[in-house]
């Protein structure tokens, strides 16, 4: 499994990788610190899962989500928002635009386990 982690915080990207390592899910990581870079990474290699922050410079997570869902080959790609934007409005907007699921930071191994095993089982 190849996971694209999109977050402008290196600490958060490392935290996501640490959670996956604790879950012992065999995977490779691809990282991007904004939506524009994430689009390049996504189109450059096969990706099985995207973990996406909302607030980033250059291109926000929600704008990335809209662009990706507009491309037919990515309609079913699992994309989980992992963000501090916890307002009901944000959750609804992300799901409306095609987010597979939503995790409100801080990310924990438990939250990730619940979301990931739903996707891969």
Question: In which band, very low, low, confident or very high, does the pLDDT at 66 lie, cut at 50, 70 and 90?
Answer: very high
Kindly state the percentage of the chain with pLDDT values over 90. 64
Contact 53, 106 (CB under 8 A): no
Average pLDDT over residues 6-23: 92
For 42-48, which contacts have Cβ atoms below 8 Å and span 24 or more sequence positions?
42/4, 42/68, 42/74, 45/2, 46/2, 47/2, 47/3, 47/4, 47/77, 48/1, 48/2, 48/3, 48/77, 48/78
Break the chain into its structural domains and give their ranges. Answer: 2-120
67-87 per-position pLDDT tens digit: 999 999 999 999 999 988 888
Instruction: Domain 2-120: give its CATH code.
Output: 3.40.50.2300
- Cis bond before residue 16 (omega within 30° of 0): no
């Amino acid at each position: 499994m190849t996971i694209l982690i999109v977050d402008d915080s290196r600490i958060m990207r490392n935290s996501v990788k640490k959670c996956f390592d604790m879950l012992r899910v065999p995977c490779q990581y691809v990282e991007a610190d904004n939506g524009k870079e994430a689009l390049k990474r996504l189109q450059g290699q096969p990706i099985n899962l995207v973990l996406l922050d909302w607030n980033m410079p250059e291109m926000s997570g929600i704008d990335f989500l809209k662009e990706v869902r507009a491309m037919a080959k990515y309609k079913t790609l699992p994309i989980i928002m992992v963000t501090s934007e916890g307002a009901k409005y944000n959750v609804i907007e992300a799901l409306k635009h095609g987010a597979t699921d939503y995790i409100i930071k801080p990310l924990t191994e438990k939250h990730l386990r619940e979301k990931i095993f739903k996707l891969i089982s």
